[in-house]
């Protein structure tokens, strides 16, 4: 947990101070005549079109975290709005939720996301919305399962007897106790969202106006054949460190909430 | 089979069968939601006016919505996925041709991942909290976090560009023909190595973690302690009693992984120019060949649905205690 928070803080700090750490713009071509190795002027070198990898990688942190945080936030909100009433009221609503989640869990998500991005266009907003809309079923199921066990507990029954309304019980009594497993799942969802966005950009389906690690790595495909290892190494380090620290955070949260689980 | 199992499996298959039209209707809705003219989308942006009109006619796009849906469902159910305007051939044929190469890659990747995942997971569990355990657990978490498009490129940088140990890309070398079976198989395996190892490395962590957790659980359970007390050999306890139970969750996860790994397959095939369905997906994207992309989506969905049903069937056979609702 300590490692992941330290690592994540460093990454967030670098992302926020990108504007101070470099005076170069990401994605702007012509800083150098061609593929240039790392030097004091270009700490991570440049690509074939003379774009500065250092600035691109730093601004890439912002894109990755923005996509990760916003899409995960949306996913969690949708999951709660659907999973909470489904678990609480049961019946038809619950049946419907289960069938819809069955559906989404039995189709290949990455291909679905590609499909939707092609149809609606590769803008950052679209990518975030598509990611959220196609990712909520897993977390909604977790919410539902938790609600099913929590709603039978005494304090919830007590609140009911005391005349609390359904909304009040759902959001004030049940929701806070549903959150621990949801937070673990949300952390995993966030690392997944970062990977999917980078994957889309790698395939040329990212937003062309944002600095994404996936796109540098697509450029690396040609650059590594002519000695440009730096186009591969630095963005790879950053994306791996980011995803790793978020995954470690999920592990840490899981241990925190389930201290008895086997390690 | 114990009572109830048959009913459960029947229900499972039924739900699976309902999913197929659901997938098709879902793509229809997406198509309708898309900005622009669906006929142009199906015909391709460079299509002639006549061809676009023909597509409009074939799919009945001037008719009321419910009739359009019926025509669309009827076509896809009879295996008519439309016509790929980049390949100038029916979509179904184009896709089916690529299926065996993809199965070879994905299957090999999964087998390597499952085998080494179990071995490393067992080692980590037996040597719990030692250096070996820590190294295995940390490494598998790191590989779990590396995107496949970075990992595969590092393999290319070192093993192809630096040391020239493996071929750059493709499925088989030029000039090697199936008429010479021994050389052919050897050449294909040589090409298969890097893409399948890339795919295996990113999946392996899941199996390592799962095996380790369930092995540790098993090793501390009463029946293992009892087996020890009866004086059974450690090796026998380990493999016959503990591992057998620890393997059950692997089957479930292997089924789920199949759906998740498809994204990895698309990217791996692109990087190594492996001529399978994943590479075809990218070709379809680049040409904005919508009927082809649609066909790939529907067919991969159906394969995932079928794979999930098969996993469930195997699972109920292996573990007769399972009687899910």
Residue to substitute from A1, A3, A108, interface B, most B β-carbons within 10 A: A108
Q: How far away is chain B from the Cα of A217, in angstroms, using its nearest Cα? A: 7
* Inter-chain residue contact B150 with A232, CB threshold 8 Å: yes
Compute the average pLDDT of residues A211-225.
93
**What are the tens digits of pLDDT across the range A101-151?**
888 877 888 989 998 998 888 999 999 999 999 999 889 999 999 999 888
Q: Is the pLDDT of residue B1 over 50?
A: no
pLDDT band at A262 (very low <50, low <70, confident <90, very high): low
Give, as one character, the DSSP assignment of residue A164.
Answer: -
Interval B41-62: pLDDT, tens: 888 877 888 888 888 888 888 8
B268 to chain A: which residues are within 8 Å by CB? none
Pairs of residues, one from chain A and one from chain B, whose beta carbons lie less than 8 Å apart: 133
Q: Which of B42, B145, B291 to mutate to test the interface with A (most CBs of A within 10 A)?
A: B145
User: Predicted confidence band at A19 (pLDDT cuts at 50, 70, 90)?
Assistant: confident
Nearest to A111 among B156, B290, B297 (CB): B297
Integer Rg of chain B from CA: 24
Q: What is the mean pLDDT of residues A156-166?
A: 88
Average pLDDT, chain B: 86
- Most A CBs within 10 A among B150, B252, B286, hence the mutation to make, goes to B150
Confidence of residue A179 (pLDDT cuts 50, 70, 90): very high
Interface mutation vs chain A, best among B32, B128, B147, most A CBs within 10 Å: B147
Q: Which of A3-17, A157-171, B110-124, B144-158 has the lowest mean pLDDT?
A: A157-171
Round to whole Å and give the CA distance between A242 and A249.
Answer: 11
Mean pLDDT of chain A: 91
pLDDT digits (tens, 9 = 90+) for B214-254: 888 888 888 888 888 888 888 888 877 788 777 778 877 88
User: What confidence tier does B325 reach under pLDDT thresholds 50, 70, 90?
Assistant: very low
Å between A240 CA and nearest CA of chain B? 5
Q: Where are the alpha helices (DSSP H) in A151-229?
A: 154-161, 166-168, 175-202, 213-223
Handedness of CA B59, B63, B64, B67 (dihedral sign): negative
Q: Is the pLDDT of residue A261 over 80?
A: no
Q: How many domains does chain A have?
A: 1
Domain that holds residue A108: 2-261
Is B157 in Cβ contact with A232 (below 8 Å)? Answer: yes
Over residues B103-121, the pLDDT tens digits come to 999 999 999 999 999 999 9
The whole-number pLDDT of residue B324 equals: 47
State residue A58's pLDDT score: 94
Tell me how crowded residue B29 is: count the other CB atoms within 10 A of its CB: 10
Question: Is B300 in contact with A114 (Cβ distance < 8 A)?
Answer: no
Helix, strand or coil for residue A203?
A: coil
Read off the pLDDT of residues B63-90 as tens digits, 9 standing for 90 and up.
888 888 888 888 888 888 888 888 989 9
Taking an 8 Å cut-off on Cβ atoms, the answer to whether B19 and A103 are in contact is yes
Q: What is the DSSP letter of A52?
A: B
Residues of B in contact with A105 (CB under 8 A): 259
Between chains, do A217 and B281 touch, taking CB under 8 Å as contact?
Answer: no
- Among A116, A221, A240, whose Cβ lies nearest the Cβ of B153? A221
| pLDDT tens-digit readout, A35-52 | 888 988 888 988 888 899
In this structure, are residues B12 and B312 in contact, taking their beta carbons and an 8 Å threshold? yes
Q: Which residues of B touch A235 (CB under 8 A)?
A: 150
CATH code assigned at A102: 1.10.3720.10
- Lowest average pLDDT, out of A82-96, A172-186, B179-193, B251-265, goes to B251-265
CB-nearest to B156 from A107, A196, A224 is: A224
Q: Band the pLDDT of B2: cuts 50, 70, 90.
A: low
Name the residue of chain A whose CA is nearest to B277's CA.
A111
Share of chain A above pLDDT 90, in %: 58
Compare A204 and B320 and report the one with higher pLDDT: A204
pTM: predicted TM-score of the whole model, two decimal places = 0.90
Write the CB contacts of A263 (distance below 8 Å, at least 6 apart in sequence). A255
Q: Residue B108: how many CA atoms within 13 Å on its side-chain side?
A: 17
> Region B304-324: what's the mean pLDDT?
74
CA distances from B262 to B188, B274, B280, B290, B299 (A): 21, 14, 13, 19, 12
Q: In this predicted structure, what is the pLDDT of residue A143?
A: 93
Query: How far apart are alpha carbons B286 and B281 in whole angstroms?
Result: 9
């Amino acid at each position: 947990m300590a490692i992941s928070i330290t690592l994540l803080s460093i990454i967030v700090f670098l992302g926020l101070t990108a504007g101070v750490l470099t005076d170069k713009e990401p994605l702007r071509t012509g800083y150098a005549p061609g593929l240039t190795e790392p030097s004091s002027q270009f700490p991570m070198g440049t690509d074939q079109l003379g774009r500065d990898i250092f600035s691109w990688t730093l601004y890439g942190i912002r894109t990755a975290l923005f996509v990760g945080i916003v899409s995960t936030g949306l996913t969690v909100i949708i999951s709660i709005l659907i999973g909470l009433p489904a678990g609480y009221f049961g019946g038809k609503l619950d049946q419907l939720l289960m069938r819809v989640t069955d559906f989404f869990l039995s189709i290949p998500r990455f291909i679905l996301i590609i499909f939707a991005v092609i149809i609606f266009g590769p803008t950052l907003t679209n990518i975030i919305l598509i990611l959220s809309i196609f990712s909520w079923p897993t977390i909604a199921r977790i919410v539902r399962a938790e609600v099913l066990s929590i709603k039978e507990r005494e304090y919830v029954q007590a609140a009911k007897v005391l005349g609390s309304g359904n909304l009040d019980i759902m959001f004030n009594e049940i929701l806070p106790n549903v959150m621990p497993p949801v937070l673990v799942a949300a952390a995993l969802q966030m690392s997944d969202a970062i990977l999917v966005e980078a994957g889309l950009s790698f395939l040329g389906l990212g937003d062309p106006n944002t600095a994404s690690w996936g796109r540098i790595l697509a450029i690396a495909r040609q650059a590594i054949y002519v000695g440009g290892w730096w186009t591969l190494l630095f963005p790879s380090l950053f994306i791996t460190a980011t995803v790793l620290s978020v995954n470690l955070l999920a592990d840490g949260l899981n241990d925190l909430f389930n201290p008895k689980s086997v390690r | 089979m114990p009572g109830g199992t048959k009913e459960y499996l029947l229900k499972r298959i039924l739900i699976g069968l309902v999913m197929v039209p659901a997938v098709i209707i879902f793509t229809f809705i997406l198509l309708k939601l898309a900005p622009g003219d669906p006929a142009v989308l199906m015909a391709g942006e460079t299509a002639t006016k006549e061809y676009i009109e023909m597509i409009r006619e074939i799919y009945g796009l001037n008719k009321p919505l419910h009739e359009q849906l019926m025509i669309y469902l009827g076509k896809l159910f009879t295996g008519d996925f439309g016509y790929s305007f980049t390949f100038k051939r029916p979509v179904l044929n184009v896709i089916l041709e690529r299926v065996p190469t993809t199965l070879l890659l994905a299957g090999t990747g999964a087998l390597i991942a499952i085998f080494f995942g179990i071995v490393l997971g067992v080692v980590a569990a037996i040597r719990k909290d030692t250096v070996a355990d820590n190294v295995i657990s940390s490494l598998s978490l790191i590989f779990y976090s590396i995107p496949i498009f970075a990992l595969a490129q590092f393999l290319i940088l070192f093993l192809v560009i630096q040391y020239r140990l493996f071929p750059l890309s493709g499925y088989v070398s030029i000039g090697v023909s199936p008429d010479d079976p021994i050389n052919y198989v050897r050449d294909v395996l040589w090409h298969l190595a890097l893409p399948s190892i890339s795919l295996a490395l990113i999946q392996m962590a899941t199996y390592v973690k799962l095996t380790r957790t369930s092995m540790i659980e098993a090793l501390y359970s009463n029946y293992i302690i009892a087996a020890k007390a009866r004086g059974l050999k450690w090796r026998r306890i380990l493999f016959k009693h503990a591992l057998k139970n620890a393997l059950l969750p692997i089957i479930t996860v292997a089924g789920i992984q199949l759906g998740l790994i498809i994204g990895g397959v698309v990217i791996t095939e692109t990087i190594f120019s492996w001529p399978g369905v994943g590479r075809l997906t990218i070709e379809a994207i680049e040409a904005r060949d919508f009927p082809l992309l649609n066909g790939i989506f529907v067919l991969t969905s159906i394969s995932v649905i079928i794979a999930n049903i098969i996993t469930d069937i195997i699972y109920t056979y292996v573990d007769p205690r399972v009687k899910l609702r």
